[in-house]
Copies of this chain bind each other. A is one copy, B any other.
Amino acid sequence: MDESMDPRVVEHARILARWSTDIKRGEMVIVRASPESHELALALTREATKLGARVMVVMESDELNKAFFDAADDQTIALLPKHMMAAMKEADVYIGLGAPLNTMTLASVDPKKQIALAKANQPLSELVLSKRWCGTVHPCRSLAQQANMSLEEYQDFVYNAVIIDWAAESKNWFLLKDHLERHKDIRFVGPETDIHAETGGRIWIASDGRKNMPSGEVFTAPIEDSVEGKIYFDIPFLYQGKVIEGVRLSFEKGFVVDYSAEKEQPTLKAVLEVDEGARRLGEMAIGTNRGIKRYTLNMLFDEKIGDTIHCALGRAYKECNGLNESAVHVDMVKSMARGKITAGNEVIYHAGKFFYDK
């Protein structure tokens, strides 16, 4: 172990390599890191190498992306990144270590350009999803700042959510999955919210820290044209450098028929205009990680907050049997402290209590 390294960084790396992605001898691992997550990349390289794998680290940062957006014309944005595709084809495991230098670097970039890049990169994104993959963050100053915390406080926040006994903690989440799959629909009711969707034939996934670290959500892809009603997302979220707040959506036959946002409505509009799939829900989900108690404008954590639900516009997960296709997948979160979740005739959750809570 590096003498100067926080032992929690080493433990984080161990969880990623052993629990989340189960790295084995002879495997090829791709790690995505920014200059700010070099330390975690180090700990993870050491851990994966111990397990007999060969690690390649790809450097990404919002600054590199900004330089790309500043300089690229339409033809260049549309290029398939053949080198990255080829590397990913040979990889068994992909682990992303998010750690921005400045979370607002992309704030001034035209969302259309960002969406065009997401479209060009779609084959790559799909390839990643076919691997054993996990996304996490390394606590850094910019994320602490975004969360209104000092770096030290933010490190505690992250490691409290990450360094837990995943096998033990996730048992209730699998119970929840079983209950939801016994029914054929889901309904979220709360302030300014009453939304319903069919889920027959769809799979509910209990996310137990394999693909997201931390995790703690149970999610599905609703039947595309069955979503009806309205929903109010009271938790702000960041999309490509913009903080979107107070989103209201109304659905008929699965499509958004009315929308508004208290802040950044034009950005919400741009999302909805990406493609047809962006006007449908690709995901409906319940946040179950009660170790995460507040939002930090980081979806990896915010969608897992205990006693929340979230929905995503755009791409559905194929593992859920979802069919919705889109270049985007934009999650939005709603607190459910005063809400109710039902499935069929069963009350799954009401005002702070799941069926499994004592």
State which of B64, B79, B88, B91 has its C-beta within 8 Å of the C-beta of A57. B64
* A127 adjacent to chain B (CB < 8 Å): no
Please encode chain A, from 68 to 86, with 1 for each CB lying within 8 Å of some chain B CB and 0 for all others. Answer: 1011110110011111111
**Residues of the B chain whose Cβ atoms lie less than 8 Å from the Cβ of A52:** 73, 75-76
State which of B49, B64, B71 has its C-beta within 8 Å of the C-beta of A47. B71
* A26 adjacent to chain B (CB < 8 Å): yes
**Residues of the B chain whose Cβ atoms lie less than 8 Å from the Cβ of A41:** 59, 64
A68 touches B86 (CB 8 A): no
**Residues of the B chain whose Cβ atoms lie less than 8 Å from the Cβ of A28:** 81-83
A33 touches B54 (CB 8 A): no
B81 touches A54 (CB 8 A): yes
A42 touches B63 (CB 8 A): yes
**Residues of the B chain whose Cβ atoms lie less than 8 Å from the Cβ of A136:** none
**Residues of the B chain whose Cβ atoms lie less than 8 Å from the Cβ of A83:** 28, 30, 54, 56, 87-88, 90-91
B79 touches A90 (CB 8 A): no
Q: How far is the CA of A30 from the CA of B84 in the complex (A)?
A: 9
State which of B42, B50, B70, B90 has its C-beta within 8 Å of the C-beta of A64. B42
Please encode chain A, from 55 to 69, with 1 for each CB lying within 8 Å of some chain B CB and 0 for all others. Answer: 111111101100110
A60 touches B57 (CB 8 A): yes
Closest to A67 in B: B46
* A266 adjacent to chain B (CB < 8 Å): no
Min CB gap A79→B, angstroms: 5
For the residues of A in contact with B, the DSSP-based class is helix
A54 touches B76 (CB 8 A): yes
* A38 adjacent to chain B (CB < 8 Å): yes
* A45 adjacent to chain B (CB < 8 Å): yes
Closest to A73 in B: B52
Closest to A61 in B: B38
Min CB gap A131→B, angstroms: 11
Q: How far is the CA of A28 from the CA of B55 in the complex (A)?
A: 22
A45 touches B26 (CB 8 A): no
**Residues of the B chain whose Cβ atoms lie less than 8 Å from the Cβ of A46:** 67-68, 70-71
A75 touches B35 (CB 8 A): no
Q: How far is the CA of A72 from the CA of B50 in the complex (A)?
A: 6
B59 touches A58 (CB 8 A): yes
- Interface centre among A53, A56, A75, by most chain B C-beta atoms within 10 angstroms, is A56
Please encode chain A, from 89 to 103, with 1 for each CB lying within 8 Å of some chain B CB and 0 for all others. Answer: 111000000000000
Q: Knowing A26-B79, A50-B71, A90-B86, say if A38 contacts B59 (CB, 8 Å).
A: yes
Closest to A52 in B: B76
Closest to A48 in B: B71
State which of B50, B57, B82 has its C-beta within 8 Å of the C-beta of A58. B57
Q: How far is the CA of A255 from the CA of B54 in the complex (A)?
A: 36
Please encode chain A, from 28 to 44, with 1 for each CB lying within 8 Å of some chain B CB and 0 for all others. Answer: 10100101001001110
Pairs A–B under 8 Å by Cβ, sample size 13: A2-B67, A38-B63, A47-B71, A49-B72, A50-B71, A54-B80, A54-B82, A56-B84, A82-B90, A83-B91, A84-B87, A86-B87, A87-B87
Q: A46-B68, A59-B59 are in contact. List 12 more A-B contacts (CB 8 A).
A: A35-B35, A45-B68, A46-B71, A49-B67, A52-B76, A53-B76, A54-B82, A55-B64, A56-B58, A57-B58, A82-B90, A86-B90
Across the A-B interface, the 7 shortest Cβ-Cβ residue pairs: A49-B71, A35-B35, A87-B87, A59-B59, A86-B86, A46-B67, A57-B59
